[in-house]
Structure 1
Amino acid sequence: MKKRTMSAWGSAILIFIILMIVTPTIPQSQAYHNFADQRSFLGIPNFLNVISNFPFLIIGLIGLILCFYPEDYFSFSLRGEKIGWTCFYIGVAAVAFGSSYYHLHPNDATLLWDRLPMTIAFTSIMAIFVIERIDEHKGTYSIAPLLLAGLVSILYWRFFDDLRPYALVQFVPCIVIPLMAILLPPMYTHSTYWLWAAGFYLLAKVEEAADKPIYSWTHHIISGHSLKHLCAAMVPVFLTLMLAKRTVQTERISLYKTWKKGSEEERFEHSYSNVAVEETR
């Protein structure tokens, strides 16, 4: 078991090194800091981009409280789950402070404090998924290395002006988690909440890219970046609802097999309903 784990980590590190060799560096564009909505209100610069981070604090604190009180409200069944989810909610709550601090004075130095808590959330979620869907022990022991990898990706960007490691930390979970949620059998019910969370995060990235067009389309009421904060905050909202509602799955079947089974039954029922019934006399 340990040998296979070491092989997996070794393969991942090797793939990462090859990618770093064959791909060009990605410097931080200074245009990134030029957000559409730069209005001040009550003496707060970039007011909406700052206060739209407030939901992260609320849902982060709620999640932390429910992780520990009332006892076992989330009904964690596996070793390491509470540690992983605690790290996740700490990251979510810290986003409110880090992102607000960045948007008060957008520049590379303050951006570090915006991205650091996000990497805590991303890497914690990956560890949680490994715990639940692959192996309980491997997932538990991967929490610290994944958090460290996130920290290193931020420091590498800051010191070498290269976003490639951070991009991997951010986008690999966005691809891997929905796939794992669909293909791997879950231990708990309400697994579709993972897909809702992934959908809202994808929407948030679209809104971030369309910051200025959305600001123009809404007649300067709200920008895409402010909406991005609100949509991204829906990710921990859906995951918290999932934790509150889920129970241990009696029969572990992946979402893909569930959907496939449902479509086959629907086709069978449709075919059966088309069979002509001969009237008896």
Structure 2
Amino acid sequence: MACSQDLDTILMLASCCFSGIPNTLDVLSNFPFLVIGLIGLVLCYYKNYFKFRLQGELYGWTCFFIGVAAVGLGSSYYHLKPNDARLVWDRLPMTIAFTSIMAIFIIERVDEQKGTVSIIPLLLAGIISILYWRFFDDLRPYALIQFVPCIAIPLMAILLPPMYTHSAYWLWAAGFYLLAKVEEAMDKVIYEWTNHIVSGHTLKHLCAAMVPVFLTLMLAKRTMTTERKSLLMTWKVSWTKVKENGSKGESCTCTYAAVSS
């Protein structure tokens, strides 16, 4: 009971502090994007903190963190007064982040030179998809730009051998993005479950912000791998070892001694 009263008090104080902000939680929940975007951008250039080996990596991750920081600003701007004109500034930064990630993956997993060259065409494709939606009222190109990376990146992370360690962070990031999409789809349901306190859209922002958080942690922790092995191959080797250990544990040797009568 006391916990419930404390929560009500906190929510009341928060409501008083931010009562002048329309769609308060939808606006404020974009703040993590701005923070992690700026942190990542600074670390890209601070004494090569992320230890990039290629210039193309620096360009790709720079575009990604600029896109993430811009999501924090653009999405907040849109949610203050939602309309189609402002929605452009919500979606445009997301396309920059999505297309940058695709270029980064091509650099790391397919071909370094082709990946670097692909950065600008992919960014342009994202921008064109937004313009196409705005002028022709057709979301299909934008949907393609948004959802292709969601499918391609986890598959590439599993199947293609990486240059660096800690590839599993890509899957954590993909998992949080998938959770964010589920929360977005359940927006009204979650709003009802929380007694009209938090919407699924607000939780979607917070979960989606975990994507750049995990990728920043990955960049900070990873090192060049001495043996390029895909996650799938690593899992196969681990599973084989587990099966072999299980077989050894189950097998036993019995000896019999003669019993004199």
TM-score normalised to the size of structure 1?
0.84
**Gapped regions of structure 1 (runs ≥ 5):** 1-38
- Which amino acid counterpart does residue 45 of structure 1 have in structure 2? P
Report the counterpart of residue 234 of structure 1 in structure 2. 210
1:259 and 1:44 mapped to 2: Cα distance? 48
Report the counterpart of residue 174 of structure 1 in structure 2. 150
C-alpha displacement at 1:44, in angstroms?
Answer: 1.0
Report the counterpart of residue 53 of structure 2 in structure 1. 77
C-alpha displacement at 1:271, in angstroms?
Answer: 1.0
- Which amino acid counterpart does residue 220 of structure 1 have in structure 2? H
SS at structure 2 position matched to 1:125: helix
Report the counterpart of residue 95 of structure 2 in structure 1. 119
After superposition, give the CA deviation of every residue in 1:136-174 in whole Å (9 maximum; x if it has no partner): 000000000000000000000000000000000000000
Report the counterpart of residue 66 of structure 1 in structure 2. 43
SS at structure 1 position matched to 2:55: coil
Report the counterpart of residue 219 of structure 2 in structure 1. 243
User: Which of 24, 34, 51 does residue 47 from structure 1 map onto?
Assistant: 24
- Which amino acid counterpart does residue 271 of structure 1 have in structure 2? S
After superposition, give the CA deviation of every residue in 1:41-91 in whole Å (9 maximum; x if it has no partner): 43111111001100001000000010001x111000123000000000000
C-alpha displacement at 1:280, in angstroms?
Answer: 6.3
Report the counterpart of residue 30 of structure 1 in structure 2. none
C-alpha displacement at 1:191, in angstroms?
Answer: 0.3
- Which amino acid counterpart does residue 206 of structure 1 have in structure 2? V
Report the counterpart of residue 134 of structure 2 in structure 1. 158
Q: Say if 1:78 and 1:132, in contact at 8 Å, map to a contact too.
A: no
1:179 and 1:79 mapped to 2: Cα distance? 25
2:186 and 2:246 mapped to 1: Cα distance? 43
Larger Rg computed on CA atoms: 2
1:117 and 1:157 mapped to 2: Cα distance? 15
After superposition, give the CA deviation of every residue in 1:254-274 in whole Å (9 maximum; x if it has no partner): 000110111111111111111
More divergent stretch after superposition (191-200 vs 101-110) = 101-110
2:230 and 2:76 mapped to 1: Cα distance? 39
After superposition, give the CA deviation of every residue in 1:103-159 in whole Å (9 maximum; x if it has no partner): 011111111100000000000000000000000000000000000000000000000
* Two-structure CA RMSD over aligned residues (Å): 1.2
- In the TM superposition, 1:10-25 aligns within 5 A as none
**Gapped regions of structure 2 (runs ≥ 5):** 1-14
The percentage of aligned residue pairs carrying the same residue is 74
1:79 and 1:134 mapped to 2: Cα distance? 16
Report the counterpart of residue 34 of structure 1 in structure 2. none
2:166 and 2:146 mapped to 1: Cα distance? 24
1:117 and 1:276 mapped to 2: Cα distance? 62
- Which amino acid counterpart does residue 242 of structure 2 have in structure 1? E
- Which amino acid counterpart does residue 241 of structure 2 have in structure 1? E
Q: Which runs of 4+ in 1 moved over 3 A?
A: none
Structure 1 position 146 matched with structure 2 position 111: no
Report the counterpart of residue 5 of structure 2 in structure 1. none
2:243 and 2:87 mapped to 1: Cα distance? 52
- Which amino acid counterpart does residue 148 of structure 2 have in structure 1? V
SS at structure 2 position matched to 1:149: helix
Report the counterpart of residue 83 of structure 2 in structure 1. 107
